[in-house]
Amino acid sequence: MSKNYNEKLTAFIRAGIDDKPVTPRYDPFWQSLRSTGTELWLDTGDMDEAEANWTAEMTALTTNNTLLNNEIQKGIYDSFVPQALELVSHLTINEQVKEIAFILNARHGLRLAKKFGGMVSVELHTDTAYDIDAIVSYGLRYRELCPEQFIVKVPYTPEGLIGARLLHDMGVRINFTLEFSARQNVLVTLIARPDYLNVFLGRIGAFIADNKLGDGSGAGENALLASQSWVTRLSAETGSKTRQIAASLRNYTQLDLLAGADVYTIPPKVAAAGRKSLSGLFGSRIGQRYDVPLNDDAAGLGIEKFWEVPDSVVELGRHLGKEVPAYGEEIVAKAHEAGVGDMFPVMDPEEKECIAAEGKIPVLSSWKERILSGNLSPDTLLTLAGLASFTADQKQLDDRIRGLIG
């Protein structure tokens, strides 16, 4: 992209944003939770929903492909898209769609930033997930638009690890996303060195419960708390000051069970339910270990991989963090050489279609044989399913743009 084009696009995205800043109230309930050391974010892109739950104790909002698509489908930017088309008309149709998707994401992020005054975590187009150059290019463009408040979300892929590290070394703030285990976050901390990383803990419990391996309790919480311990230790080693986010909070009781984690990103419904039902007396749960009720069907499926980290993963992360590969294939090869190839399995087109069709929570029967063989694991499967789900939502957003630009 030329300098002149970027300057025009930046001016267009910023123009006319007139959302009135909120005046947040203080709330003793959230002050008590903050006192455990947990930073509080809201997990929504909905302006009204955010305003109803935002308090002075909250510091950021997270958006993603799903949440942004929910806003775009309301039609709030339908009149804005044809104006954007005038700027990108020189590009191919596919490039126009991707550029306009970036414009909408950035525009909505800037509106959230102005209205709430906090940081906003903005997502990359899913087409960039395996493209290092695109990750870096769009990450830099987001930083240029709002360096003080934008945090760029990069997904857990081999190329994402490399792209995020390059952006980190350029001073771009990164929120690394779609992780489901402590061992994944050991690699992220040592290789990518982002400002923030995640455990999508609610989906871990849902995977266990939906596939009738247990009631789903305890597993996501243990994954988050184990990851927190590793991230704290290893970020001190690298000097990256990476912070752990508890994401995919599905039950208000988790606000209490995970108190003391670095960051919560809280869906508004969970925030409202917690505010209504919890006492507001919080104490740190760091170092806690919860029971994980599992039945015999869970044997051999590697459920413990959500929270256990073998030495081989730590050694792999340290090696790749010191000598970051140029290509994602090198990370995949090194992982297989280290005996943890289940973290980066090679999937054929049929398997990718199956993952996409099953949605956020995979159907175990489709994958049990491969998991038992040792070349796929539940945490990796959930990551692949999560990216496929975001890709489906991105396609809906892209299709709306295509319809609007004819």
Q: State pLDDT tens for residues 117-126.
A: 999 999 999 9
What's the total number of domains in the chain? 1
Task: Give the Cα-Cα-Cα angle 72, 382, 97 (nearest 5 degrees).
Answer: 30
Res 110 pLDDT > 90: yes
Res 1 pLDDT > 80: no
- State pLDDT tens for residues 130-143: 999 999 999 999 99
Instruction: Output the average pLDDT for the chain.
Output: 97
Q: What phi and psi values does residue 196 have, to the nearest 5 degrees?
A: -140, 150
Is residue 289 included in any domain, yes or no? yes
Is residue 177 included in any domain, yes or no? yes
Q: What's the whole-model pTM score?
A: 0.97
Is residue 74 included in any domain, yes or no? yes
- State pLDDT tens for residues 354-367: 999 999 999 999 99
Query: What six digits make up the tokens of 155?
Result: 């997904």
Q: Which of 47, 295, 41 is nearest to 175 (CA)?
A: 41
Is residue 11 included in any domain, yes or no? no
Is residue 295 included in any domain, yes or no? yes
- State pLDDT tens for residues 372-393: 999 999 999 999 999 999 999 9
Q: Are 398 and 105 a contacting pair, CB within 8 Å? A: no
Find the domain containing 284 and state its range: 26-405
Q: 120 has which bridge partners?
A: 61, 150
Is residue 225 included in any domain, yes or no? yes
Res 11 pLDDT > 80: yes
Is residue 6 included in any domain, yes or no? no
**CATH code, domain carrying 364:** 3.20.20.70
Q: Give me the percent of the chain exceeding a pLDDT of 90.
A: 96
Mean pLDDT of 301-311: 98
Res 74 pLDDT > 70: yes
- State pLDDT tens for residues 238-269: 999 999 999 999 999 999 999 999 999 999 99
Inter-residue long-range contacts of 27-35, CB under 8 Å, 24+ positions, other chains counted: 27/55, 27/56, 27/57, 27/275, 28/280, 29/274, 29/275, 29/278, 29/280, 30/55, 30/57, 30/58, 30/275, 31/57, 32/280, 32/281, 32/282, 33/57, 33/255, 33/259, 33/264, 33/280, 33/282, 35/282
Q: Band the pLDDT of 64: cuts 50, 70, 90.
A: confident
Q: Are 124 and 139 a contacting pair, CB within 8 Å? A: yes
Is residue 179 included in any domain, yes or no? yes
- pLDDT of res. 2: 79
Q: Band the pLDDT of 91: cuts 50, 70, 90.
A: very high
Q: Which of 166, 165, 189, 169 is nearest to 179 (CA)?
A: 189
Q: Which of 72-86, 293-307, 317-331 has the lowest mean pLDDT?
A: 72-86
